[in-house]
Amino acid sequence: MTRPIYFTTPIYYVNDAPHIGHTYTTVVTDVLARFHRMRGRDVRFLTGSDEHGQKIERAAAARGLEPLALADEMVARYRALWSALGIAPDDFIRTTEPRHRKGVEALYAKIKARGDIYKDRYAGWYCTSCESFYPENQVVDGRCPDQGHKVEWTEEESYFFRLSKYQEPLLNLYRERPDFVFPETRRNEVVAFVAAGLKDLSISRSSFRWGLPFPDDPKHVLYVWFDALSNYITALGYGAPKAPLYERYWPGIHLVGKDILRFHAVYWPAFLLAAGEPPPRQIVAHGWWLRDAAKISKSKGGVVDPLPFIRDFGADALRYVLLREMVFGQDASFSDEAFVDRVNTDLANDLGNLASRTLKMIEDYRGGVLPAPSDGAGDAALVEAARAAWDGLVEGFESYALQSGLQRVSDLVGALNRHIVQHEPWKMARDPGQARGLDDLLYAVAEGLRIAAVLLAPVIPTAAQTLYAAVGGDGEVSAVSLAAFHWGGLRPGARIVRGPSLFPRIDKAAFLGSAAVNEQRMETTDKGKDPVPAPAITPAAPSAAAPPPAAGPAEITIDDFTKIELRTAKVLEAERVAGADRLLKLTVDIGTEKRTIVAGIAARYAPDALVGRTVVVVANLKPAKLRGVVSQGMLLAASDASGAPYILTTEDPGVPAGWRVK
Ligand code: MSP
């Protein structure tokens, strides 16, 4: 067994709600944690919240709140987002917790015992947005060099850490461990920064109160980055008389955005070296999500809210797109259009359609039972494609090449689709002489899909499990080992499970045109305003919330209501209506007869996904012609602000057709 792996995300500031940038780091870390677990490793995954400092104090004041009340509110939103994304870290640390303070004090005491702390005066520029000090020569037009925020002149008594003493030890560290900072371009930046000389670092502030009390001097609070960086070890119990988690998991791998690389690759290892503790195992920096070429940020605007994407298309779709659209390490642009195209191409068309056509063929040609292949070795070309996908994904994910790893799985899906087209199984099915060939084909494609599900499990855990079970896989897909490639994992004779389509195709025109939703997604916080002195804060209501109900139609009596005959119905057939993107033509059984119903639900439902489901229809509605088809009733669906439909169905899917609904 290889040594345990400890992955961390940055701990996020609680001045405002999470956006797509924070989402990205956390999704990537979750994907890596899942991947390494499937590789058989002992993994720990930490995230949390950074709650002290001037930025939070000011944000809270602007809302008339105590800092801790603001933190509580934002932590709830972060936690809710992680859970909506299927992210379950092993621990979530808040810097306002007593266990954190204890650990920070222990770290400080060790550094002090080495003689690396002294008292002096600080006079210089401070950027509250970055919570960072900048020397005179780095400030450009009154703004910080990193992100262009306004800086403030600060003069105060301060305690200093002898960072300058660690210039050589740090350079040695980078030299001895070339992958300490990844990717290499970032490593080079860090080396250049340190080689240019390090000044001692002010690690206390005395001009505001919201922070951990400075251990030696209650007039000061501890500099927020000293406080924050320590979370990576305080969450492991550092400073307690016994810290088995620290023994087992430290040093860890820190996933960070490039904006906070210096803090992680320079200050943090220096603090640890000073304390005589091992420096981190690796600092892995990714690029920025941009909107209109500017960094998406709470203080600069262009904020993209992840919640509407999750609500409308599911966590898996967002997780996949984030990984697939960004070359790890580089910047990328987030656009709604690219989101839709990626979901429709990779997930709905290629993977989703392959899965539904394969399952339908097994159902139609083999009664829903997976046939035994005539030769266990399988079709050589397909086995090769599966092996290449496996090796490609594993190699990619082992080295943070997430995008190219996923591309290898798309290649496998493409090969499986081409295999079907080339061999025309629908023709084989009509020829009894080709029965064994058809068995081979069905088994091979199902097995290829199983392998795709296993490889995609870290990225799209829910859909991967559905797909894996659908083709007859046993147990949990996440329990399958990614240690070694193995063809033939499916058991002949297994029953396939045909359910709703994995990823319904998104109606692009409807989606991009839904101004209300896009407005919410594009919602900016303090765009155009300077974040200093007081960042503006958006209202607490999640932007995913439905608009307030408008004044409705006039009151009706129960007699009026009973005039409407609502019945349960079973969908027997479903197809698209030519020339109408939003419409599906359904044949439903309403208990007493079959009816044709045209429903505007194609934006969220693929026809296949509806067959067999129980829906609710208005059975006594006057027939009406829609796009040339006579609709003999109406299907009930709820719709969100964008008009996206959510069909009404019964709690127990076994409710038969024809029951009265009231
Ligand atoms: N609290 C500090 C981190 C302390 S870690 C000891 C902080 N918090 S933050 O809320 O501003 O989050 C910063 C992190 O969020 C970035 O490092 C990055 O991981 C992520 N992102 C924030 N905006 C981003 C983009 N526009 N694009 C990609 N990731 C970005 O800094």
The mean pLDDT of 185-200, rounded to a whole number, is 97
Mutate to test the pocket of ligand 1, among 259, 284, 291, 321 (most ligand atoms within 8 A of CB): 259
Residues with CB under 6 A from ligand 1: 10-13, 21-22, 24-25, 50, 228-229, 231, 256-257, 259-260, 288-289, 295-297
Question: 637-639 and 580-589 as β-strands: parallel, antiparallel, unpaired?
Answer: unpaired
Nearest residue (by CA) to ligand 1, atom 23, is 21
pTM over 0.85: no
**555-601 tens-digit pLDDT:** 777 777 888 889 999 988 899 888 787 888 999 888 888 899 999 88
| Element containing residue 497 per DSSP (H, E) | none
CB atoms < 10 A from the CB of 583, how many? Answer: 21
How crowded is residue 253: how many other Cβ atoms within 10 Å of its Cβ?
A: 18
pLDDT tens digit string along 53-94? Answer: 999 999 999 999 999 999 999 999 999 999 999 999 999 999
Task: List the structure tokens of 188.
Answer: 């080079």
> Distance (Å, rounded) from C-alpha 646 to C-alpha 587?
19
Interior/surface letters 395-430, b for 16+ CB within 10 angstroms, e for the rest: ebbeebbbbebbbbbbebbebbbebbeebebeebbe
Amino acid sitting at position 355:
A
Q: What is the Rg, in whole angstroms, of the alpha carbon atoms belonging to the chain?
A: 29
- Supply angle C-alpha 224, 228, 229, rounded to 5: 120
Q: Which atom of ligand 1 is nearest to the CA of 260?
A: 17
| Ligand 1 center from residue 258 Cα (angstroms) | 9
pLDDT at residue 298 in the model: 66
Which residue's alpha carbon is nearest to atom 26 within ligand 1?
Answer: 296
Distance 520 CA to ligand 1 centre (A): 21
- Residue-wise pLDDT tens digits, 272-331: 999 999 999 999 999 999 986 677 776 666 789 999 999 999 999 999 999 999 999 999
State how beta strands 294-295 and 289-291 pair. Answer: antiparallel
Atom number of ligand 1 nearest to Cα 232:
6
Q: Which residues have CB under 8 Å from 11's CB, separation 6+?
A: 47, 48, 49, 50, 93, 95, 228, 231
- In the chain, the amino acid numbered 82 is W
Q: Average model confidence (pLDDT) for the chain?
A: 89
pLDDT of residue 647: 86
CA of 12 to the centre of ligand 1 (A): 6
Closest approach atom of ligand 1 to CA 288: 27
User: Which tokens sit at 108?
Assistant: 């400080």
- Please tell me the distance from the alpha carbon of residue 159 to that of residue 108, in angstroms, as a whole number: 12
CA of 274 to the centre of ligand 1 (A): 26
Order of strands across the sheet that contains 152-161 = 132-134, 117-127, 152-161, 201-202
Q: Which atom of ligand 1 is nearest to the CA of 25?
A: 19
Span from the CA of 25 to the centroid of ligand 1 (angstroms): 8
Q: How confident is the model at residue 653 (pLDDT cuts 50, 70, 90)?
A: low
- Centre of ligand 1 from the C-alpha of residue 619, in Å: 53
Residue 614 tokens, joined: 């129980």
Q: How far apart are CA 404 and CA 414, in angstroms?
A: 15
User: Do 607 and 504 meet the contact criterion of CB atoms below 8 Å apart?
Assistant: no
The answer to whether residues 207 and 56 touch, using CB atoms and an 8 Å cutoff, is no
Percentage of residues in the chain having pLDDT higher than 70 = 92
Q: How far is the CA of 22 from the centre of ligand 1 (A)?
A: 6
Pocket test for ligand 1, best of 9, 15, 16, 22 (most atoms within 8 A of CB): 22
Contact between 181 and 172 under an 8 Å Cβ cutoff? The reply is no
Distance 297 CA to ligand 1 centre (A): 9
